Amino acid sequence: MTEMQSVRSCLAILLAAGEGTRMKSQRPKVLHEVGGRPLLGHALAALAEAGADSVVVVVGPDRPEVAQAAQSLLPGVQIALQNERRGTAHAALAAREALARGYDDVIIAFADTPLVRSETFGMLRAALAEGAAVAALGFEARDPTGYGRFVLRESSLDAIVEHKDATPEQRAITLCNAGLMALDGRQALSLLEAIGNANAQAEFYLTDAVAVARSRGLAMRALEAPESEVQGVNDRIQLASAEAEFQRRKRLSVMAGGATLTAPETVFFSHDTQIGRDVLIEPHVVFGPGVSVADGAVIHAFSHLEGAEVGPAATVGPYGRLRPGARLAEKAKVGNFVEIKSAEIGAGAKVSHLTYIGDATVGADANIGAGTITCNYDGFFKYRTTIGAGAFVGSNSSLVAPVTIGAGAIVGSGSVVTEDVAADALALGRGRQIAKEGWAKGFREAALARKAAAQKP
């Protein structure tokens, strides 16, 4: 947000009342996710970053979950109801009460256009500050078929002409309407109220604000953003396209911030993934929501992280899984086919392979052997395991929580530990080995004899 924008007041109206039938989903379209965040959430975040003082989300009467999600995603957001779906201008007027309060800038945006940057909304606001009554956002279309065209006069916006109404000359124009618009707050309500519905669909279209402004001799501006930024989401194919563009941006941002992605196109991030400097991320890694990776860490191939913190110079994988609540301290190691959930792995501790550590604390420099399991759930409640600093847990051990392994203690391989182990003690919880001389030879001979007898006619 620029200094100018911080001085000027701003109302944002976010249209989210569309039915989204092409998604073929029980879930409202704007609650489908890109980068682990609802489409609605991306738009709200960008508007907030652009300095909107007040945000009104316009929802349909049959989608209370959209209103609930909006209030959860951006506390303080206002909800307006569009009882009848009669076009985009009609939807914007659902925020009439907020419009009447008087703002310097009014932004009208769409909840199903999740990739618009806050800087682009700022560009629209800047045009208003420079004297425009209407600032409309367009894009250079690879294929303009079906889009409204921006008709310019001496570099100013003169009209937005729908494809079906365009002349052959106008159809040759490739600067197309993205739908987003900003209005001078002093004129916004009057402009919207003046829009009619004399069209085949009998709907009130936001684009007609341009014709109203022109008839009043008001200044208008056409601004441009990349087509990839203003793409809307109406079906699953477009949702995948938006996800791809989000991931492309995020990968570039992570690498520009000082991390190495050896195969960027195979790594997938969430909207809130935080990656430090000198981090190495190998191929086929997925970051779910709520992950932070500190400087110098290594995430090996085919790992999946969600709700986890990876400390400086720690390593994960290959084929590691960090679930919510996993926290790795500096130089901790989580190896291949290891799952960590709601557990802290101390500095320098090693959980190298084929292990599950859940609801636990592992002290610094402890070593957890292959096949170890913290038995944390009895079918009703979860219990915690505490492993002290420098402890050594042998392979294929089961630690039945609640239980504490003291600092420096050793648990013998194959043990089932049900009681606390004192510091520096040795714990063995397994059956005593018995050896019977010659038993195996006799077993084989008897078995072979039975098999031969069974094969006789």
Q: Which two tokens stand for residue 434?
A: 């018995």
Of 167, 163, 164, 197, nearest to 177 by C-alpha is 163
Question: Nearest 5°: CA angle at 108, between 54 and 195?
Answer: 120
- Crossing angle of helices 118-129 and 39-49, rounded to 10°: 40
SS3 content of the chain, % helix, strand, coil (to 5): 25, 30, 45
On whether the CB atoms of residues 119 and 144 are closer than 8 A, the answer is: no
Of 330, 381, 335, nearest to 357 by C-alpha is 335
Number of Cβ atoms within 10 Å of the Cβ of 265: 11
Would you call 163 a catalytic residue per the annotation? no
Of 192, 196, 173, 170, nearest to 181 by C-alpha is 192
Of 385, 381, 389, nearest to 356 by C-alpha is 385
Spatial neighbors of 420 by CB under 8 A, at least 6 apart, are 403, 404, 405, 406
Peptide bond into 318 cis (omega under 30): yes
Give the Cα separation of 175 and 223 in Å (integer).
Answer: 10
- Crossing angle of helices 39-49 and 64-73, rounded to 10°: 40
Return the C-alpha torsion angle 113, 115, 116, 119, nearest 10.
160
User: β-strands 426-427, 410-411: how paired?
Assistant: parallel
Number of Cβ atoms within 10 Å of the Cβ of 232: 17
On whether the CB atoms of residues 109 and 56 are closer than 8 A, the answer is: no
Number of Cβ atoms within 10 Å of the Cβ of 54: 16
Catalytic pick from 32, 42, 304, 353? 353
Q: Which two tokens stand for residue 281?
A: 């991320």
Known catalytic residues are: 353
